[in-house]
A and B are shown apart, each in its own frame.
Chain A
Amino acid sequence: MWMKLLLIVALAGIYTQAKEDGRGQISGEVEEARWRVAESPDAFKVRLSLKSALGDEAYTWNENELYLFRAAMAYTMRQYYMAEKGQQVNFTSENIVTSEVTPRISFFFYVTNPDAAATITKAEVEAAIRLSRGRINSAFLLSDDTLEFVGLLATLSPPAEPTVEVWLIVFGVVIGFVVLVGVFLIVSGFRNRRKRKLKMDDDDDEGKAGEEIESGGVTNSGFEEEDDRRTQL
Chain B
Amino acid sequence: MADSEDAKSGDERPKWDNKVQYLLTCIGFAVGLGNVWRFPYLCQVYGGGAFLIPYLIALVFEGLPLLYLELAIGQRLRLGSIGVWNSISPYLGGVGVASMIVSFLVAVYYNTILAWVLWYFFHSFQNPLPWSECPVNEDLTGYVQECLDSTPVNYFWYRQTLNVTPNIETNGSLQWWLVLCLITAWCIVYICFIRGIETIGKAVYVTATFPYLVLTIFLVRALTLPGATDGLIYLFTPDWNLLLNPRVWLDAATQIFFSLSLAFGGLIAFSSYNPQKNNCERDAVLVGCINSATSLYASISIFAILGFKATSNYNTCVQGNIIALTNGFDVADQNITVDNFDSWLDNLNKTDPAKVSYLNLTECNLQTFLDESASGTGLAFIVFTEAVISMPGSQVWAVLFFVMLFSLGLSSMFGNMEGVLAPLHDLNLVPKWMPKELFTGCIFVLSCLVSLIFTMDSGNYWLEIFNNYVGSVSLLIIAFFEIIGVVFFHGMGRFSDDIEFMTGRRPNLFWKACWMCISPLLLLVVFVAYIIVQVQTTPTYPTWNPDYVDFPVTDVQPYPTWVFVICVLLVAIPVGPIPIVALYRLINRKLRRTGRTDTSRTSNPYANEGFNMDT
Q: Report if A139 contacts B (CB, 8 A).
A: no
Task: Scan residues 40-71 of chain A and give those whose CB is less than 8 A from a CB of chain B.
Answer: 47-52
Our pick among A52, A159, A168, A224 for the contact of B334 (Cβ within 8 Å) is A52
Within the complex, what minimum Cβ distance (angstroms) separates B596 from chain A? 19
- Complex CA gap A102/B327 in Å reads 10
Q: Which of A84-92, A109-117, A213-221 is the interface stretch?
A: A213-221
Q: Report if B238 contacts A (CB, 8 A).
A: no
- Complex CA gap A118/B400 in Å reads 62
Residue in B118, B142, B333 with the greatest tally of chain A CB atoms within 10 Å: B333
- Bitwise interface map of A from 124 to 168 toward B, beta carbon under 8 Å scored 1, else 0: 000000000000000000000000000000001111000100111
A182 near B190 with CB under 8 A, answer yes
Q: Please list 16 pairs of residues, one from A and one from B, whose beta carbons are closer than 8 Å in the complex, sorted by A's number.
A: A104-B329, A104-B330, A105-B332, A159-B135, A166-B123, A167-B122, A174-B118, A175-B183, A178-B187, A178-B191, A182-B190, A182-B191, A189-B437, A220-B608, A221-B8, A222-B606
Closest to B329 in A: A104
A156 near B327 with CB under 8 A, answer no
Residues of B close to A179: CB separation below 8 A: 187
Q: Report if A2 contacts B (CB, 8 A).
A: no
A156-B141 contact given A185-B194, A221-B606, CB 8 Å threshold: yes
Task: Scan residues 135-161 of chain B and give those whose CB is less than 8 A from a CB of chain A.
Answer: 135-136, 140-143
Q: Report if B293 contacts A (CB, 8 A).
A: no
- Complex CA gap A163/B126 in Å reads 7
Q: Report if B352 contacts A (CB, 8 A).
A: no
- Complex CA gap A103/B188 in Å reads 63
Residues of A close to B141: CB separation below 8 A: 156
A159 near B136 with CB under 8 A, answer yes
A190-B136 contact given A185-B195, A219-B605, CB 8 Å threshold: no
Our pick among B332, B432, B437 for the contact of A186 (Cβ within 8 Å) is B437
- Complex CA gap A39/B351 in Å reads 25
Q: Report if A93 contacts B (CB, 8 A).
A: no
- Complex CA gap A147/B184 in Å reads 49
Other contacts beyond A102-B330, A182-B190, A190-B435: 12, CB < 8 A: A50-B333, A105-B332, A106-B327, A156-B141, A158-B136, A167-B122, A171-B122, A171-B184, A193-B435, A220-B608, A221-B606, A222-B606
- Complex CA gap A106/B119 in Å reads 47
- Bitwise interface map of A from 160 to 201 toward B, beta carbon under 8 Å scored 1, else 0: 000100111011001100110110011001100100000000
B123 near A103 with CB under 8 A, answer no
A47-B327 contact given A158-B140, A167-B123, A219-B8, CB 8 Å threshold: yes
Q: Report if B125 contacts A (CB, 8 A).
A: yes
Our pick among A157, A175, A189, A219 for the contact of B184 (Cβ within 8 Å) is A175
Our pick among A51, A52, A105, A166 for the contact of B126 (Cβ within 8 Å) is A166
- Complex CA gap A51/B326 in Å reads 13
Q: Report if B199 contacts A (CB, 8 A).
A: yes
Residues of A close to B608: CB separation below 8 A: 220, 222
Within the complex, what minimum Cβ distance (angstroms) separates B438 from chain A? 9
- Complex CA gap A158/B605 in Å reads 76
Residues of A close to B199: CB separation below 8 A: 185
- Bitwise interface map of B from 177 to 219 toward A, beta carbon under 8 Å scored 1, else 0: 0001101100110110011000100000000000000000000
Our pick among A48, A163, A182 for the contact of B130 (Cβ within 8 Å) is A163
We find that the number of chain B residues with CB closer than 8 angstroms to chain A is: 47
- Complex CA gap A168/B177 in Å reads 9
What band does the interface of chain A fall in when counting residues whose beta carbon is under 8 Å from B? 35 or more
Task: Scan residues 4-27 of chain B and give those whose CB is less than 8 A from a CB of chain A.
Answer: 4-5, 7-8, 10-11
Residues of B close to A166: CB separation below 8 A: 122-123, 125-126
Within the complex, what minimum Cβ distance (angstroms) separates A44 from chain B? 15
Inter-chain contact total with CB atoms closer than 8 Å: 104
- Bitwise interface map of B from 322 to 337 toward A, beta carbon under 8 Å scored 1, else 0: 0000110111111000
Q: Report if B609 contacts A (CB, 8 A).
A: yes
A182 near B327 with CB under 8 A, answer no
- Complex CA gap A49/B331 in Å reads 11
Closest to B438 in A: A186
Residues of B close to A219: CB separation below 8 A: 8, 605
Closest to A146 in B: B333
B191 near A185 with CB under 8 A, answer yes
Closest to B331 in A: A104
Residues of B close to A106: CB separation below 8 A: 327, 330
A224 near B140 with CB under 8 A, answer no
Residues of A close to B136: CB separation below 8 A: 156-159
Residues of B close to A186: CB separation below 8 A: 194, 437
Within the complex, what minimum Cβ distance (angstroms) separates B244 from chain A? 49
Closest to B328 in A: A104
- Bitwise interface map of B from 506 to 545 toward A, beta carbon under 8 Å scored 1, else 0: 0000000000000000000000000000000000000000
- Complex CA gap A193/B435 in Å reads 10
A224-B4 contact given A163-B126, A189-B194, A213-B10, CB 8 Å threshold: yes
- Complex CA gap A219/B121 in Å reads 53
Residues of B close to A218: CB separation below 8 A: 607, 609
- Bitwise interface map of A from 201 to 233 toward B, beta carbon under 8 Å scored 1, else 0: 000000000010110001111101000000000
Task: Scan residues 251-298 of chain B and give those whose CB is less than 8 A from a CB of chain A.
Answer: none
- Complex CA gap A171/B609 in Å reads 59
Our pick among B10, B184, B333 for the contact of A174 (Cβ within 8 Å) is B184
- Complex CA gap A186/B183 in Å reads 18
Closest to B188 in A: A178
Within the complex, what minimum Cβ distance (angstroms) separates A148 from chain B? 9
- Complex CA gap A48/B334 in Å reads 12
- Complex CA gap A181/B121 in Å reads 20
A103-B330 contact given A178-B191, A186-B437, A221-B5, CB 8 Å threshold: yes
